[in-house]
Structure 1
Amino acid sequence: MGGVLALGWACQDLRFKVATWPPEPGRTPVVGYQEALGGPAAVAAWAVARLGGKALLISRRGRDRAGEWLEATLQAAGVVAAFTLGEATGVSAVLVAPDGERFIFPYRGRLPEEPEDDLLLWPEWVSVVLADTRWPGAAERVFERARDLGLPRVLDLDSVDEASLRLGRLASHVVASEGAAVEAGGLDHLQGLFSGAFVAVTLGEKGVVWPGGRIGALAVTPKDTTGAGDVFHGAFALALAKGMREEEALALANAVAGVYVAKGEIPDWQEALKWMQP
């Protein structure tokens, strides 16, 4: 079994669970606070490690306390992390409403556009490459190298700007957010844009859809939806690395994301298999 390389955004999330929504004038009581790993690629890599897979994250951080926290947190989670260093790490304030919906206020930091060349090399155990759209120049280079090596290339598509479309054309698998699919004109249009790739769309509480079918989300009460899509992408990439077919990988990822939303924790691989819907 191989592992997953995840490339893209990593940040520190400052999560505040509020007592009421929308916020009240003045002060709104906070009933829970957590410093958590954030960023699509970082959370996906964390999910891979939590599921028992090998995970390598290529990302950026600042030479600051938040960046040191980020690297230490990933290391403690079992993720191998390689960073291009800049001035300031990204930090997001995340408000989590009583129903589990989240509202994110990102500070993007001050980080270099170009990666260090040696960070675009990876160990032999990497068998699937996953990228988000937050570092497109680096993602293009990694996808091109992975294509030359014949490795699957999974894109976490959350926008349809030109840089993201270029990445989609390099990908073998495109798993888009519902918002990106709507922006692109729907699933059929996405399939037309990326005709050489396997395309699917995550729909939150409605599950996931692809040209060959649909799987409903787990019937759970959301605790916190922050990072659910990122967890989905990490689980999907690991499932491919384990040799699952795309439809099986979607079912596994759907189960992992559902358990995560309900419990606030990523299940291990065996528990995730038990939650898979037939």
Structure 2
Amino acid sequence: MALPILCVGALTLDTIFSVAELPPGPGKFIPQAAVEIAAGMASTAATAIVRLGGTAALWASVGTDATGKRLISEIAAEGVDCAAVRQVEDARSAFATILVDQSGERIIVPYYDGKLLEEPNASPTISSEKLAAVMVDVRWPKAAARALAAARSAGIPAVLDADVARPETLDLLLPLATHIVASDVAAQQITGEARPATAVERLAERYESFVAVTAGGDGVYWFDAKNGVFRHCPAPKVVVRDTLAAGDVFHGAFALGLAEGMPMDRIVAFATTAAAMKCEVFGGRLGAPSRAEVEVRMQK
């Protein structure tokens, strides 16, 4: 059996509403559809890894409340190893309310109890004998920093999902990663550059690691260090219903490609296709595609 990829960070209860349009102001808005699911950046990435044929483990924090038990149960049911999920006494499990409009754009309002984000007392074993890679998000910075540093020391990929976060969080995590994949919004926050193509150049100047910027329907910009050139992978054309969790699916697929030893251009195309396909399905994490579905789409 292939070694697992350890995903570190968010595990939340997401209530997702499909609405005709995002609210222009105060009022009452009737959704067209709704789901309530266990999700979160790292948890969705772990789900994507499993659906794409890999093995994943999750290191996250929940409370000892009923919500926490439900979150662990739902992600474990996807085939993710949740043995390392920390249950914190007197903490409220994380949750979020999300509105998604007909074009797939969304508003996300998350809540994280500060107790969930405290320094972990213990860590999963991170070694080349136990893990194929580590993938972290920015939602539990102290655990993410520990995991990235341990992965670097172990000589395995240390992948950072560089999303929008406090500057001190990004300053802590960016230098520790072997592979930085930033959203276009986060890349602008980090570099001051609005254009993804320029932002990836600035990232490559600053960090001695693989760098890429995801830009939604515009695809992915990345630095091909082997050949010393900047490259662009266009996104497949899809009918967008829900962009929620597309980035998380990308990061899971990207980490899996690294673990499987794919060439980098294949990894980027594989992850870009998986993320685009997720956008065709309402329900955030529920839209993560299977390996067979992605491979068929890549052949078209």
Using the size of structure 2 for normalisation, the TM-score is 0.87
Shift of 1:268: 1.6
Is residue 18 from structure 1 mapped to residue 19 from structure 2 by the alignment? yes
**Residue number in structure 1 paired with 2:294:** 272
Which structure 2 residues correspond to residues 152-163 of structure 1 after superposition, within 5 A?
152-159=157-164, 161-163=167-169
Q: Are the counterparts in 2 of residues 255 and 277 from structure 1 also a CA contact under 8 Å?
A: no
State the 4+ residue runs in structure 1 displaced beyond 6 angstroms.
none
Q: Give deviations 1:34-68, integer Å, cap 9, x for gaps.
A: 01232111110111111121100000001112111
Provide the residue aligned with 1:91 in structure 2: 95
Do structure 1's residue 49 and structure 2's residue 50 form an aligned pair?
yes
CA distance in 2, matches of 1:38, 1:193: 32
* 2:221 aligned partner: 209
Equivalent residue for 2:186, pick from 141, 156, 180: 180
Q: Which residue of structure 1 lines up, in the alignment, with residue 121 of structure 2?
A: 116
Q: Is the 8 A contact 1:2 1:242 kept in 2?
A: no
Instruction: State the Cα distance separating 1:181 from its structure 2 match.
Output: 1.2
Q: CA deviation at 1:25?
A: 5.2
Instruction: State how far apart, in whole Å, the 2-side matches of 1:145 and 1:15 are.
Output: 35
- One-letter amino acid of the structure 2 residue matched with residue 198 of structure 1: F
How many residue pairs match? The answer is: 276
Residue 138 of structure 1: aligned partner: 143
Distance 1:209 1:138, change over 3 A: same
Q: Contact 2:22–2:100 at 8 Å: present in 1 too?
A: no
In the alignment, which residue of structure 1 is the partner of 2:105?
A: 101
Q: Offset at 1:277?
A: 7.2
Alignment partners' CA distance in 1, 2:154 and 2:18: 44
Corresponding residue SS for 2:279: helix
Do the aligned residues in 2 keep the contact of 1:4 with 1:129 (CA within 8 Å)?
Answer: yes
* Cα pair 1:19 1:28 within 8 Å, conserved: no
Unpaired segments ≥5 residues, structure 2: 193-198, 224-229
Q: TM-score w.r.t. structure 1 length?
A: 0.93
Q: Are the counterparts in 2 of residues 47 and 231 from structure 1 also a CA contact under 8 Å? A: yes
Residues 56-97 of structure 1: per-residue CA shift (max 9 Å, x gap): 000000111211110000111100112222211110000111
What RMSD in Å do the two structures reach over aligned CA positions? 1.8
- CA distance in 1 between partners of 2:23 and 2:169 (Å): 35
The answer on whether the counterparts of 1:172 and 1:197 sit within 8 Å (CA) in structure 2 is: yes
Q: Identity across aligned pairs (percent)?
A: 38
1:274 partner amino acid: V
Gap change, CA 1:167 and 1:20, over 3 Å in 2: closer
